[in-house]
């Protein structure tokens, strides 16, 4: 007998998507994933489909209903004949078993789709969470840049008063401070947008959390391609494709079983008022499959099996290509991030500190400090963008393989 055991994370879900509000404390990645599991509307819809398939399985196993007929000949009481019959269809050719098997395969497909949708939602949540983390860091950099620009403008103003530099330098410093202020406004807006996108994954249009708590710079080495290619066989998308193939094969058996005609057994009684007696009536009806042997439906079902089999092969090829692309994207982003962190950022920081010190002692002009500061901020921003790209690629790999985020 077919038996499907729900995963613990699915059995614990409510029957419908509930409005979820996250705590106002800093949000960790694991907490965000749990909120998405509980409150994502797409997951709730997929779970409803799985529950609907339970009803389909139950319906498929039911026997056909009997029919009761009453026939009366003549309206005169003394001469009329009344026939009462009960007819029960008997399904032959394994129709009921084939029908149940097809319904069970359909339920397996719904369960596989739910697993795939959950992997997609968790990957979306992880990518959105890291986007918020990167936006937080971008805002912190913009705030630091604004403070530095304000201090530089103030220092330039004092040097103008002292007659050490031209008033043009003060104007440039003020323009630079205003430009950095615009970057600060954009950074605040980007963070607010990222927070809304993250909270929308669990159905909260007004996020309560102010920030997320985590480490954005952690970029582990990926397992080998051979190890991850082996995991593709059990990837959620592959499970969906194979479940569809199994369902199509089961539906072909349903159509094959319909080639055998059903028998209807009839039992009843016939009462003749004129003769004053009641007779038992027995009957059997059997359709003659002379013209319609369901051959067209069998052919269509067989071709759909071929289609589903090709779909399995196409899914495998697509997942392989997507995995290679995601791995390459992650490797490139990780290499860039390491180069920025170990080579470019230290050099930019050192150049900025040297320019600032030289400016304080009158050895460098303000433009030198401004250029060094701009180079440092661009390098830091590029570093954060690269880290976000790496985490997005890592989430794509997890989506393909159905891996759990830590």
Using one digit for the tens of pLDDT, what is the confidence trace for 91-104?
Answer: 999 999 999 999 99
Residue 18 has pLDDT above 60, yes or no: no
Q: Is 273 contained in some domain?
A: no
Per-residue pLDDT band for 79 (boundaries 50, 70, 90) equals confident
Q: Let me know: does 126 contact 250? Beta carbons within 8 Å.
A: no
pLDDT of 5: 46
pTM: 0.82
Encode pLDDT of 295-331 as tens digits: 999 999 999 999 999 999 999 999 999 999 999 999 9
Res. 75 pLDDT band, cuts 50 70 90: confident
Q: How many domains would you assign to the chain?
A: 1
Residue 16 pLDDT greater than 80, yes or no: no
What tokens were used for 199?
């909270």
Q: Residue 114 contacts by C-beta under 8 Å, 6 or more apart in sequence? A: 10, 43, 46, 47, 49, 50
Enumerate the H helices of 29-94 as residue ranges: 29-39, 41-60
8-15 contact pairs (CB < 8 A, 24+): 9/37, 9/118, 10/47, 10/114, 13/37, 13/38, 13/43, 13/44, 13/47, 14/38, 15/51
Give residue 265's Cα distance to chain centre: 51
312 falls within a domain? yes
Helices and strands in the chain: count of H runs, count of E runs = 10, 4
Domain assignment present for residue 278? The answer is no
Query: What domain range includes position 313?
Result: 24-64+104-258+299-401
What integer is the mean pLDDT of 381-396? 93
The share of the chain scoring above pLDDT 70, in percent, equals: 87
Three-state secondary-structure class, residue 341: helix
* Inside any domain, residue 76: no
pLDDT at 7: 52
**In-domain check, residue 194:** yes
> Is 78 among the domain residues?
no
Average pLDDT over the chain reads: 87
8 A C-beta contact, residue 58 and residue 158: no
Asked if residue 245 belongs to a domain, the reply is yes
Q: Summarize pLDDT for 323-381 with one digit per residue, the tens.
A: 999 999 999 999 999 999 999 999 988 988 888 788 767 677 666 777 788 888 889 88
Predicted local confidence at residue 8, as pLDDT: 46
Give the lowest-confidence range in 40-49, 152-161, 232-241, 310-319: 152-161
Q: Residues 391, 127: contact at Cβ < 8 Å?
A: yes
- Show the tokens assigned to 56: 């389909």
pLDDT band at 77 (very low <50, low <70, confident <90, very high): confident
Position 316 scores a pLDDT of 95
User: In CATH, what number is assigned to the domain containing residue 219?
Assistant: 1.20.1600.10
pLDDT at residue 173 greater than cutoff 80: no
Nearest alpha-carbon partner for 262 in 59, 66, 86, 93: 93
pLDDT classification of 183: cutoffs 50, 70, 90: confident
- Token output for 169: 């330098």
Asked if residue 8 is part of any domain, the answer here is no
Q: Which tens digits make up the pLDDT trace of 47-71?
A: 999 999 999 999 999 999 999 999 9
Q: Is 337 helix (H, G, I), strand (E, B) or coil?
A: helix
Residue 166: pLDDT band (50, 70, 90) is low
180 pLDDT more than 70: yes
What pLDDT is recorded for position 330?
Answer: 95
| Beta-carbon contacts of residue 270 (< 8 Å; ≥ 6 apart) | 81, 82, 83, 84, 278, 279, 280, 281
């Amino acid at each position: 007998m077919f038996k499907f055991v729900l995963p613990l994370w699915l059995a614990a879900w409510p029957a419908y998507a509930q409005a979820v509000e996250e705590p106002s404390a800093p949000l960790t990645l694991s907490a965000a994933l749990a909120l998405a599991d509980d409150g994502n509307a797409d997951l709730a819809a997929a779970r409803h489909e799985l529950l609907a398939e339970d009803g389909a399985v139950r319906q498929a196993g039911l026997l056909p209903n009997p029919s009761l007929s009453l026939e009366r000949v003549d309206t005169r009481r003394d001469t009329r004949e009344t026939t009462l019959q009960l007819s029960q269809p008997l399904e032959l050719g394994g129709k009921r078993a084939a029908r149940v098997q097809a319904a069970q395969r359909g339920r397996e497909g719904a369960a596989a789709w739910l697993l795939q949708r959950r992997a997609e939602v968790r990957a979306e949540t992880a990518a959105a969470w890291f986007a918020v983390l990167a936006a937080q860091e971008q805002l912190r950099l913009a705030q630091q840049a604004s403070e530095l620009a304000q201090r530089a403008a103030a220092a330039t103003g004092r040097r103008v008063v002292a007659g050490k530099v031209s008033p043009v330098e003060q104007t440039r410093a003020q323009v630079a401070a205003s430009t950095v202020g615009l970057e600060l406004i954009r950074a605040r807006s980007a963070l607010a947008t990222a927070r809304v996108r993250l909270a929308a994954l669990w159905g909260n249009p007004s996020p309560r959390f102010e920030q997320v708590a985590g480490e954005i710079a952690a970029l582990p080495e990926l397992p080998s391609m051979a190890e991850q290619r082996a995991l593709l066989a059990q990837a959620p998308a592959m499970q969906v494709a194979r479940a569809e193939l199994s369902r199509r094969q089961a539906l072909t058996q349903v159509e094959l079983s319909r080639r055998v005609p059903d028998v209807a057994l009839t039992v009843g009684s016939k009462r003749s008022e004129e003769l004053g007696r009641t007779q038992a009536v027995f009957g059997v009806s059997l359709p003659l499959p002379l013209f319609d042997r369901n051959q067209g439906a069998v052919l269509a079902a067989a071709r759909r099996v071929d289609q589903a089999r090709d779909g399995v092969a196409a899914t495998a090829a697509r997942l392989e290509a997507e995995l290679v692309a995601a791995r390459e994207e992650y490797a490139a982003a990780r290499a860039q991030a390491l180069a920025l962190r170990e080579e470019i950022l230290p050099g930019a920081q050192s150049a900025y500190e040297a320019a600032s010190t030289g400016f304080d002692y009158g050895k460098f002009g303000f433009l030198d400090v401004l250029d060094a500061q701009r180079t440092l901020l661009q390098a830091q921003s590029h570093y954060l963008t690269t880290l976000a790209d790496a985490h997005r690629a890592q989430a794509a790999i997890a989506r393909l393989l159905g891996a759990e985020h830590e």
